[in-house]
Amino acid sequence: MTLSPQRPAHRLALRGDLLDFIADPGWGPPQPGPGAHPGLRWRPDHWLFVEDGRIVGAQPAAAGAPGPDWRCVDHSGHLLLPGFIDTHVHSPQIDVIASYGTELLDWLNTYTFPAEQRFADPAVAEAGARTFVDALLHHGITAAVVFPTVHAVSVEQLFAAAEARGMRLVAGKVLMDRHAPAALSDGDVAGTEAISRALIGRWHGRGRLAYAVTVRFAVTSTPQQLAMAGRLMHEIPGLYMQTHVAENRDEVAWVAELFPEARSYLDVYHRAGLLGPRAVLAHGIWLDDTDRRLLADTGAQIAHSPSSNLFLGSGLLDWPALEAAGARVSMATDVGGGTTLSFQRTLSDAYKIQALRGVRLTAWKALYTATRGAAEALQLAGEIGSFDVGCCADVAVWHWAAGPVASHRDALARELHERVFAWITLADERNLETVYVAGQQR
């Protein structure tokens, strides 16, 4: 028997200012000095070591460059963060981003549903998927939980595009069988279940991909379809569930009319067996204390979409109340109810919402929620969201400042939190130098 020679390891060393988190920094005010927040891990001018796409360690650059068997890329003077994790975003809605003048329900009918109908065309679905995943990477987003459309081809093309780029992606066919245009409405429940199971069989657990049972929202699914979705969650291990909940007061009132037996909007999903540790529910603005406790008890998370909530006038999320009840909160761009894929702008809008509620969101809490916090909520902390040894090397390399105003402000920053907060407020995708996905430059 002839043994094949062992393949040499692919070794990559990235130099820069490393910032990530080992724990939730909480809601306390920022303290001077990086050591004042135990959840923060700040390693200026370090080498980050990557072997075969995974992080294997780090060391100060002052200790010297790694040996000749490492490919060294010097990003000195740049901020290196784990890739952002967008926990709620609609891939076809890039087509309608920045559309004027309506609240949620009118906005869906006027802009979103017409745009999504085009994705029945395989060519549109393929081009849209490529545009979308490249746009994520262009904004430093390396993992996402995504709504495509009701069309199976939109799911196939989205997964294929993400797989080709090595990205961690959670997605699934959107389920709608009432109160939607005929071109976006599922047929009988049995047929929809068969299509969903076929997609799950092809894509769930393939590489860095996972399938999400994707209920658009309670309004657009019959009780029979919701029961089918719950059955899939119960029968197939590791599935995610994604939907919307309590985004808009008119929507909440409509759900109450359609489901009079349910205690609340959230309870509709609970009765269908859809809440659990892998459930991602967008928005969650109009929840009460009982709902918040239910989220905590089931392990479900709220994907906070601050830019969308402001743009559509949906409301101001009581984020601290959710966490006080034990519920998890992650961060999302939404798009195109939101106005940007930029996480800096999204986090800046989250700061403004909490400020209006009398709470100050620190840079540490904001960045934790967009990285390690989201990974923990998705049960993926061993793979994404930090520079822990063993995690995939999903790394975004950022300029600390771009343009004269930001450069001037950055030069005057007196300590680390002030500098990072100014970066969140003033930076956007134009600050991105490059991004690595599982150690591959994209």
- The type of residue at 219 is V
Kindly report, residue by residue over 199-258, the tens digit of the pLDDT: 999 999 999 999 999 999 999 999 999 999 999 999 999 999 999 999 999 999 999 999
Q: What percent of the chain has pLDDT over 70?
A: 97
Return the pLDDT at 106. 82
pLDDT tier, 123 (very low <50, low <70, confident <90, very high otherwise)? very high
Residue 104, H or E segment: helix 104-107
Instruction: Kindly state the average pLDDT of the residues 412-438.
Output: 97
- The encoded tokens of residue 296 equal 């905590």
pLDDT tens for 150-188 read 999 999 999 999 999 999 999 999 999 999 999 999 999
* CB-based contact 50:14 (threshold 8 Å): yes
Q: How would residue 2 be classed by pLDDT, with cut points 50, 70 and 90?
A: very low
How far, CA to CA in Å, does 118 sit from each of 47, 98, 151, 284? 46, 19, 10, 29
Given this model, what pLDDT does residue 107 score? 76
pLDDT interval class at 8 (50, 70, 90): low
List pLDDT tens digits, range 74-87.
999 999 999 999 99
pLDDT of 35: 67
DSSP 109: I
Q: Are 156 and 199 in contact (CB under 8 A)?
A: yes
Q: What's the mean per-residue pLDDT of the chain?
A: 95
Mean local confidence (pLDDT), 290-309: 98
Please report the pLDDT score of residue 5 as a whole number. Answer: 46
With 50 as the cut, is the pLDDT of residue 3 above it? no
Confidence band (pLDDT; 50, 70, 90) for 105?
A: confident
CA dist 425 to 9, 148, 312, 349, 409, Å?
A: 40, 30, 21, 9, 11
Residue 407 makes CB contacts below 8 A (sequence gap 6+) with: 401
Is a pLDDT exceeding 50 seen at residue 344?
A: yes
| Cα atoms in the 13 Å half-sphere on the side-chain side of 346 | 32
Share of the chain above pLDDT 90, in %: 89
How far is the C-alpha of 123 from the C-alpha of 42, rounded, in Å?
45
DSSP state of 58: E
**Between 33 and 95, where is the model more confident?**
95
Polymer length in residues for the chain: 442
Q: Are 427 and 406 in contact (CB under 8 A)?
A: yes
Amino acid 1: pLDDT: 32
- Smallest CA-to-CA distance from 18 within 430, 442, 338, 388 is with 388
Is the model's pLDDT at 14 over the cut of 70? yes
User: Which of 17, 40, 120, 104 lies closest to 308 in space, CA to CA?
Assistant: 104
Is 379:239 a contact under the CB 8 Å cutoff?
no
Nearest to 344 by CA among 327, 364, 366: 366
> For residue 96, is pLDDT > 90?
no
Spell out the domains of the chain, with CATH numbers in brackets: 11-82+388-441 (2.30.40.10), 84-341 (3.20.20.140)
Neighbour-count burial of 152, counting CB atoms closer than 10 A to its CB (0-12 exposed, 13-18 middle, 19+ buried): middle
CA distances (Å), 4 to each of 9, 37, 280, 387, in order?
A: 15, 49, 45, 33
For the chain, the 3-state helix, strand and coil shares in percent, each to the nearest 5, are: 40, 25, 35
pLDDT in tens, 36-94: 678 999 999 999 999 999 999 999 999 988 989 999 999 999 999 999 999 999 999 98
